[in-house]
């Protein structure tokens, strides 16, 4: 048997790969990634699918098999989380985000820490008349996957972006974290999709339910994520096309 045949068989059957990191590897080592900057590392967003989301329409290129309105999804991996999942809030950041109107092609035009900065930037845009500034709450979180155990946590970094009709959910999570006291990442919360009756139509939003305090190992992972985001080493995923559920549909709320 040739080396090529061995390689093909191994990759197909995943016979040579391990799910857990072997003892001879160092998780803290960073060799080979020294040149990676914040511009090269993005944290995916979790949105809630709406009735008009392209992810639930089979004729659309963004279609996700099995997707339905009211489900949460990852806008990078297209993974569906169902109607509820568990998070550890890590860090909150208020932003004023400029988006081009989706009927005019959509697109991210910049994010700023104050409304004044956003307005100053928008007047310099050639298509400023087609743009809008969205007051946005960026919630950096750790998703606790269903197969997590106390000894073997299965975690995923993500951002929940809440604006316009979803800002009530943003304020709710912030209030819960404030009332809990301590570090934001001390406790876990269940996230559920809830229907909302809006003036411009019904839509799906987020509702947060406090759970208990996180185990020490998960706390330290969240702490590391907090330090990376605070230092500017990681940021929310942004893309030119506006296709994730909560951002597109929030413009209509």
Q: What is the pTM of this model?
A: 0.77
Strand-strand pairing, 42-43 and 235-236:
parallel
Specify the range with the lowest mean pLDDT, choosing from 77-91, 153-167, 216-230, 231-245: 231-245
Place of tokens 């959509």: 106
| Mean pLDDT in residue range 147-161 | 88
Residues with Cβ within 8 Å of 92's Cβ and at least 6 positions away in sequence, in order, are 137, 138, 139, 140, 174, 177, 184
Q: What is the mean pLDDT of residues 19-32?
A: 75
∠ CA 83-240-172, nearest 5°, is 40
Task: Spell out the domain ranges in the chain.
Answer: 41-91+139-250
pLDDT in tens, 90-99: 999 999 888 8
9 contacts: CB under 8 Å, gap ≥ 6: 15
């Amino acid at each position: 048997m040739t080396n090529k045949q061995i390689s093909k068989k191994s990759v197909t059957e995943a016979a040579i790969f391990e799910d857990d990191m072997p003892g001879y590897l160092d998780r803290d080592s960073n060799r080979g990634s020294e040149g990676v900057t914040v511009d090269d590392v993005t944290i995916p967003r979790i949105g809630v699918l709406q009735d008009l989301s392209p992810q639930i329409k089979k004729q659309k290129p963004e279609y996700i098999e099995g997707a339905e309105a009211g489900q949460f999804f990852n806008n990078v991996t297209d993974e569906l989380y169902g109607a509820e999942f568990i998070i550890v809030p890590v860090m909150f950041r208020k932003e004023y985000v400029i988006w081009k109107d989706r009927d005019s092609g959509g697109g991210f035009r910049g994010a700023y820490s104050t409304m004044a900065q956003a307005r100053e930037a928008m007047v310099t845009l050639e298509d400023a008349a087609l743009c809008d500034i969205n007051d946005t709450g960026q919630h950096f979180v750790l998703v606790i996957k269903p197969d997590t155990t106390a000894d073997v946590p299965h975690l995923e970094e993500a951002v929940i972006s809440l604006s316009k009709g979803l800002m009530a959910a943003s304020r709710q999570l912030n209030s819960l974290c404030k009332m809990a006291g301590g570090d934001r990442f001390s406790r876990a919360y269940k996230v559920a999709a809830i229907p909302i009756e809006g003036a411009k139509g019904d839509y799906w939003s987020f509702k947060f339910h406090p759970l208990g305090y996180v185990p020490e190992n998960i706390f330290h992972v969240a702490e590391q994520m907090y330090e990376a985001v605070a230092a500017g080493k990681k940021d929310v995923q942004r893309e030119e096309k506006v296709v994730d559920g909560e951002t597109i549909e929030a413009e209509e709320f």
